[in-house]
């Protein structure tokens, strides 16, 4: 199986769909002639031309609104947010129009739109450029929200996103564009609404998404090697729709769960997971569900403070030990 | 006020059967008086009154199976009056929903009505029966059972534990919690779920006795069985049982099976047999028994064999050891277990310091232990332990057999019948009295040569029985 980077896998999915379907077009800042700030669209301008790779002004509200209109008219636009932090400028378009037009029109109009870009922090971009928005966008009915972490899933889920008749918020693990992984050739759309069991285990469920999945996998290996604890790792990957079954099945087996997220704790994905578990697996819980989240501060710039503000391996390990009633 | 509860007589015990009331309701009892006889998975025991008073209420009836920690009776002290002594039904209902019980309780002590199943049942009931004297909550302590939390202290357990406790009939009141704030967590009840709690020693013999007596009393049910179903006597199942209907194994049968399976799978057994000339022993026994008046002191062949083994173990201490993991534990004392067939299974009480006891003492003690084993009157400390086991099927006309080692012991001796056989002695054909014995030994601990020499020592003693009387 070919090994490629997250960036290459993402690009290959979009290229494949643009080759397959002429209605797929891209809009964004510096995605054309410049090749994209993160080089996701490098070479596509030359390949598909200015009609399908559209460089836009620095005006998120404008080009997102334009893309919504294009989608309503039958195209399948992919909008690049240079980073998801700039999507606040387009929030009115996304929330008020993209998410609601199908509902308002009684299904007569659909908005097959993908908005994609790097989400989350960890690369010293400071408070205004560091947000994890899965809880924020996951809140709105009418949107689909996904957060793939492996090169395999970023390709498979982008294929699904482009083909979906609804607006999809595609949150990429910006810090992981360069990570490599096996990616099958050809068309393998990964369906939304299915979490991935990244590691099977029986003693505790470690639930995460985005770049925290990799950290959690490392901790699972450490728990197995040093303490004989077999942790099950669940990569949610689809925030809305949300795969309740996989989480419940795992917790019913392990009786304990730690949910890890980079975003802030209040009103977050981890809160949703914890609530689900207590509602539907209460009689299977041997310990309270632990949440490990970002600190309740705007993301700091200073490296030491930034590191301190995001979930650390030690914090996750400590939470796992609490859930396991182990003192180490 | 004390409420008498079903005591926990061993880690594995989940419930007991009330066999017999020894005192009637309304009788005055002194502290220490036996008030009822109960049967656990292996033994019958007497429950004594923990305080003086009047046995006011017999909550349980004879034949009832009562989960550990659940009330059996109420003894009221002088001046105390019963308010609303709970019926067994009420006790059951309380286990399901303690609100009903807690509602009767003084609010200061039992405001924890939000607690889930099994929560503070004993305390709540204690208080309910003691309702007129709420100023004495400190007395609200279960009789007999070692309390794992203070009176009135809220029982904390994880949701999982509460569910499992309800499913398996575990009384959480008897479980200490290791989680934060004393929360009972899954690991704390794991022994009750897996049956991994210390299991009483069981005599290992490969064959069941020829005649299996019908149980006289209800046999304790499987842990998962509902209390109502648990009261079905085994007779009903054993006799006239329709073909193809599976039967619950008795607890002792399952315990025996589990331990024997473990032993046969884990312990590399090997077997060495020899033939013992018992002519001298037969004569010796007849002579000795002719001189004792009381039956209790009469010597059996098994007593001779037990004593011979004990003396041989002095010479071969390596066979008087226990292997635990990679470590071999030498036992300072030689405690020989006697495998006894009892209703539905086996049990192996032991004679402490067998080698230091006279033959008469061995005989008296063995008779007592075997008798009480059959009547169900053994105490756990009488069968939990021992260093070497003798299993004798001689009374059943058995040529020879081999036994499974009783872990963690190193060896077990299987004894066949004494047979009259044609033997050649000094070139002459004559009638001999011979007995075959087979030692099963753990090859991790010992080897064939040592076992053979041990058997020679046993044989030497039995063929010169006076040495057994003199040492």
Alpha carbons B344 and B209: distance in angstroms, whole number: 10
**What is the pLDDT, as a whole number, of residue B44?**
72
Q: Are residues A166 and A213 in the same domain?
A: no
CB spacing of B179 vs A287 below 8 angstroms: yes
Question: Which listed residue (A60, A172, A232, A262) is catalytic?
Answer: A60
Question: Which listed residue (B144, B329, B331, B443) is catalytic?
Answer: B443
- Tens of pLDDT, residue by residue over B338-383, are 999 887 788 899 999 999 999 999 999 999 999 988 887 888 889 8
**What is the pLDDT, as a whole number, of residue B167?**
85
Q: Are residues B277 and B374 in the same domain?
A: yes
Q: Are residues A273 and A171 in the same domain?
A: no
Q: Give the range with max mean pLDDT: A43-57, B83-97, B170-184.
A: A43-57
Residue B297 resides in a domain: yes
Nearest Cα of chain B lies from the Cα of A260 at a distance, in angstroms, of 22
Compute the half-sphere exposure of residue A313: CA atoms within 13 Å on the CB side of its CA.
9
Query: How distant, in Å, are the alpha carbons of A85, A117, A131, A179, A231 from that of A82?
Result: 8, 6, 13, 19, 36
User: Best residue in A277, A287, A326 to probe B by mutation, most B CBs within 10 Å?
Assistant: A287
Check if the beta carbon of residue A56 is closer than 8 Å to that of residue A88.
no
Q: How confident is the model at residue B10 (pLDDT cuts 50, 70, 90)?
A: low
Query: How many Cβ pairs within 8 Å bridge chains A and B?
Result: 27
**What is the pLDDT, as a whole number, of residue B259?**
85
Q: Are residues B29 and B110 in the same domain?
A: yes
Q: Are residues A215 and A167 in the same domain?
A: no
User: Best residue in B116, B158, B168, B188 to probe A by mutation, most A CBs within 10 Å?
Assistant: B158
Alpha carbons B368 and B303: distance in angstroms, whole number: 12
**What is the pLDDT, as a whole number, of residue A322?**
95
Q: Would you give the DSSP letter of residue B119?
A: T
Q: Are residues B103 and B179 in the same domain?
A: yes
Q: Are residues A117 and A216 in the same domain?
A: no
* The residue count for chain B: 471
Torsion sign (Cα): A277, A280, A282, A283: negative
Q: How confident is the model at residue B42 (pLDDT cuts 50, 70, 90)?
A: low
Q: Are residues A273 and A202 in the same domain?
A: yes
Among B194, B211, B235, the domain-final residue is: B194
Q: Are residues A10 and A140 in the same domain?
A: yes
- Tens of pLDDT, residue by residue over B417-449, are 999 999 988 889 999 999 999 999 999 999 999
Comparing B36 with A309, the larger pLDDT belongs to A309
Q: Which two tokens stand for residue A82?
A: 């240079």
Find the domain containing B266 and state its range: 253-470
Q: What's the pTM? A: 0.51
Q: Are residues B155 and B268 in the same domain?
A: no
Query: Which of B162, B163, B185 is the closest to A287 by Cβ?
Result: B185
Among B145, B164, B194, the domain-final residue is: B194
Q: Residue A8 maps to which CATH number?
A: 3.40.50.970
- Average pLDDT over all residues of chain A: 96
Q: Are residues A10 and A60 in the same domain?
A: yes
Question: Which listed residue (A129, A139, A227, A244) is catalytic?
Answer: A129
Task: Reply yes or no on whether the pLDDT at B306 is more than 90.
Answer: yes
Could you confirm whether A60 is annotated as catalytic?
Answer: yes
Q: Which residues of B touch A255 (CB under 8 A)?
A: 158, 160, 186
User: Best residue in B185, B190, B193 to probe A by mutation, most A CBs within 10 Å?
Assistant: B185
Alpha carbons B28 and B210: distance in angstroms, whole number: 46
- Tens of pLDDT, residue by residue over A284-325, are 999 999 999 999 999 999 999 999 999 999 999 999 999 999
**What is the pLDDT, as a whole number, of residue B149?**
66
Query: Which of B160, B178, B185 is the closest to A284 by Cβ?
Result: B160
Q: Which residues contact A223 (CB under 8 A, 6 or more apart)?
A: A203, A204, A229, A230, A231, A317, A320
Q: What are φ and ψ of residue A318, in 5° steps?
A: -60, -45
Alpha carbons B471 and B461: distance in angstroms, whole number: 10
Q: How confident is the model at residue B195 (pLDDT cuts 50, 70, 90)?
A: low
Q: Which residues of A touch B163 (CB under 8 A)?
A: 283-284
B126: nearest Cα among B114, B115, B110? B110
Nearest Cα of chain B lies from the Cα of A284 at a distance, in angstroms, of 5
Alpha carbons A82 and A128: distance in angstroms, whole number: 13
Residue B224 resides in a domain: no
Residue B108 resides in a domain: yes
> What do you get for the CA distance between the two ends of chain B, in Å?
55
B182 lies within 8 A of chain A by CB: no
Nearest chain B alpha carbon to A253: B160
Residue entry with tokens 């007849």: B286
Nearest chain A alpha carbon to B158: A286
Among A157, A182, A207, the domain-final residue is: A182
**What is the pLDDT, as a whole number, of residue A146?**
98
Among A151, A182, A213, the domain-final residue is: A182
Alpha carbons A41 and A53: distance in angstroms, whole number: 9
- Average pLDDT over all residues of chain B: 75
Q: Which residues of A touch B179 (CB under 8 A)?
A: 287, 325
Q: Are residues A122 and A40 in the same domain?
A: yes
Q: Which two tokens stand for residue B256?
A: 């025996």
Other residues' Cβ atoms within 10 Å of the Cβ of residue B239: 8
Q: Are residues A89 and A166 in the same domain?
A: yes
Q: Residue A225 maps to which CATH number?
A: 3.40.50.920
Among A156, A182, A208, the domain-final residue is: A182
Other residues' Cβ atoms within 10 Å of the Cβ of residue A185: 10
B65-67 and B15-21: which strand pairing? antiparallel
CB spacing of A286 vs B161 below 8 angstroms: yes
CB spacing of A283 vs B179 below 8 angstroms: no
- Tens of pLDDT, residue by residue over B221-268, are 333 333 333 333 334 444 444 566 677 777 778 888 888 898 999 999
Q: Are residues A169 and A220 in the same domain?
A: no
Q: Which residues of B touch A279 (CB under 8 A)?
A: none
Nearest Cα of chain A lies from the Cα of B71 at a distance, in angstroms, of 27
B186 lies within 8 A of chain A by CB: yes
Q: Residue B408 maps to which CATH number?
A: 3.30.559.10
Comparing B221 with A14, the larger pLDDT belongs to A14
Other residues' Cβ atoms within 10 Å of the Cβ of residue B324: 10
CB spacing of A286 vs B163 below 8 angstroms: no
Comparing B63 with B199, the larger pLDDT belongs to B63
B158 lies within 8 A of chain A by CB: yes
Among B169, B194, B219, the domain-final residue is: B194
Q: Which residues of B touch A282 (CB under 8 A)?
A: 159
Residue B364 resides in a domain: yes
Q: How confident is the model at residue A206 (pLDDT cuts 50, 70, 90)?
A: very high
Q: Which two tokens stand for residue B100?
A: 């009903």
Q: Are residues A120 and A153 in the same domain?
A: yes
Q: What are φ and ψ of residue B443, in 5° steps?
A: -70, -15
Residue A188 resides in a domain: no
Q: Are residues B261 and B168 in the same domain?
A: no
Find the domain containing A275 and state its range: 196-324
B351 lies within 8 A of chain A by CB: no
B66: nearest Cα among B106, B22, B23, B21? B21
Q: Would you give the DSSP letter of residue A93?
A: I
What's the structural domain count of chain A? Answer: 2
Q: DSSP of A187-231, one letter per residue? A: --PPPTT--EEEE--SSEEEEE-TTHHHHHHHHHHHHHHHH---E
Nearest chain B alpha carbon to A285: B160
Task: Reply yes or no on whether the pLDDT at B213 is more than 90.
Answer: no
What's the structural domain count of chain B? Answer: 2
Q: Which residues of A touch B160 (CB under 8 A)?
A: 255, 283-286
Q: Are residues B305 and B381 in the same domain?
A: yes
């Amino acid at each position: 199986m070919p090994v490629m980077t997250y960036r290459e896998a993402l690009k290959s999915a979009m290229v494949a769909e643009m080759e397959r379907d002429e209605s797929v077009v891209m809009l964004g800042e510096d995605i054309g002639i410049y090749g994209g700030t993160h080089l996701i669209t490098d070479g596509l301008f030359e390949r598909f031309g200015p009609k399908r790779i559209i460089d836009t002004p620095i005006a998120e509200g404008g080009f997102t609104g334009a893309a919504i209109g294009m989608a309503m008219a039958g195209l399948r636009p992919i909008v690049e947010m240079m980073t998801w932090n700039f999507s606040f400028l387009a929030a009115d378009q996304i929330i008020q129009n993209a998410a609601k037009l199908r509902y308002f029109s009684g299904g007569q109009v659909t908005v097959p739109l993908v908005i994609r870009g790097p989400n989350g922090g960890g690369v010293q971009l400071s408070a205004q450029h560091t947000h994890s928005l899965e809880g924020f966008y996951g809140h709105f009915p009418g949107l689909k929200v996904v957060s793939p972490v492996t090169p395999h899933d970023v390709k498979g889920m982008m294929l699904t996103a482009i083909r979906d008749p609804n607006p999809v918020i595609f949150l990429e693990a910006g810090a992981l564009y360069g990570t490599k992984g096996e990616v099958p050739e050809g068309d393998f759309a990964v369906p939304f609404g299915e979490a991935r069991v990244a590691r099977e285990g029986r003693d505790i469920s470690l639930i995460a998404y985005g770049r925290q999945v990799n950290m959690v996998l490392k901790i699972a290996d450490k728990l197995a090697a040093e303490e004989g604890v077999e942790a099950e790792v669940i990569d949610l990957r689809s925030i809305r729709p949300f795969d309740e079954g996989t989480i419940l099945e795992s917790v019913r087996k392990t009786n304990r769960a730690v949910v890890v997220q980079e975003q802030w704790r209040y009103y977050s994905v981890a809160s949703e997971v914890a609530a689900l578990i207590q509602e539907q697996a209460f009689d299977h819980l041997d310990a309270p569900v632990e949440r490990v989240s970002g600190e309740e501060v705007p993301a700091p710039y200073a490296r030491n403070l930034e590191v301190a503000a995001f979930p650390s391996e030690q914090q996750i390990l400590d939470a796992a030990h609490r859930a396991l009633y182990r003192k180490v | 006020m004390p409420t008498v509860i079903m005591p926990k007589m061993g880690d594995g015990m989940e419930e007991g059967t009330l066999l017999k009331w020894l005192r009637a309701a309304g009788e005055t009892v002194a502290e220490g008086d036996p008030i009822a006889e109960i049967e656990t998975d292996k033994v019958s025991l007497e429950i004594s009154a923990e305080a003086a008073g009047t046995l006011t209420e017999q909550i349980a009836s004879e034949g009832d199976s009562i989960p550990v920690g659940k009330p059996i009776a109420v003894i009221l002290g002088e001046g105390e009056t019963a308010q609303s002594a709970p019926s067994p039904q009420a006790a059951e209902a309380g286990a399901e929903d303690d609100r009903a019980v807690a509602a009767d309780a003084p609010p200061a002590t039992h405001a924890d009505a939000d607690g889930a199943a099994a929560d503070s049942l004993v305390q709540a009931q204690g208080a309910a029966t003691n309702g007129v004297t709420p100023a004495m909550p400190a007395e609200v302590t279960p009789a007999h059972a070692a309390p794992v939390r203070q009176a009135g202290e809220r029982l904390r357990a994880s949701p999982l534990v509460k569910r499992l406790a309800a499913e398996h009939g575990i009384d959480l009141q008897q479980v200490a919690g290791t989680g934060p704030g004393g929360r009972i967590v899954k690991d704390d009840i794991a022994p009750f779920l897996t049956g991994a709690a210390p299991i009483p020693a069981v005599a290992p013999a490969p064959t069941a006795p020829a005649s299996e007596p019908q149980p006289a009393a209800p046999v304790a049910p499987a842990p998962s069985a509902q209390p109502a179903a648990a009261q079905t006597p085994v007779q009903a199942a054993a006799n006239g049982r329709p073909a193809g209907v599976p039967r619950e194994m008795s607890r002792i049968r399952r315990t025996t099976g589990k331990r024997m399976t473990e032993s046969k799978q884990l312990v590399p057994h090997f077997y060495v047999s020899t033939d013992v000339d018992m002519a001298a022993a037969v004569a010796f026994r007849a002579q000795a028994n002719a001189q004792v008046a009381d039956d209790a002191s009469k010597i059996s062949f098994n007593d001779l064999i037990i004593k011979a083994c004990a003396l041989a173990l002095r010479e071969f201490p390596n066979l008087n050891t226990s292997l635990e993991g990679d470590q071999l534990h030498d036992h300072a004392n030689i405690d020989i277990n006697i495998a006894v067939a009892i209703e539905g299974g086996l049990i192996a009480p032991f004679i402490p310091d067998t080698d230091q006891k006279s033959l008469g003492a061995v005989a008296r003690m063995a008779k007592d232990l075997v008798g009480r084993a059959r009547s169900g009157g053994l105490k756990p400390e009488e069968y939990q332990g021992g260093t070497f086991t003798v299993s004798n099927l001689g009374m059943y006309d058995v040529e020879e057999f081999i036994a499974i080692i009783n872990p963690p012991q190193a060896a077990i001796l299987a004894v066949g019948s004494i047979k009259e056989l044609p033997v050649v002695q000094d070139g002459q054909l004559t009638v001999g009295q011979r007995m075959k014995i087979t030692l099963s030994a753990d090859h991790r601990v010992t080897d064939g040569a040592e076992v053979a020499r041990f058997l020679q020592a046993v044989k030497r003693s039995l063929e010169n029985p006076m040495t057994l009387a003199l040492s």
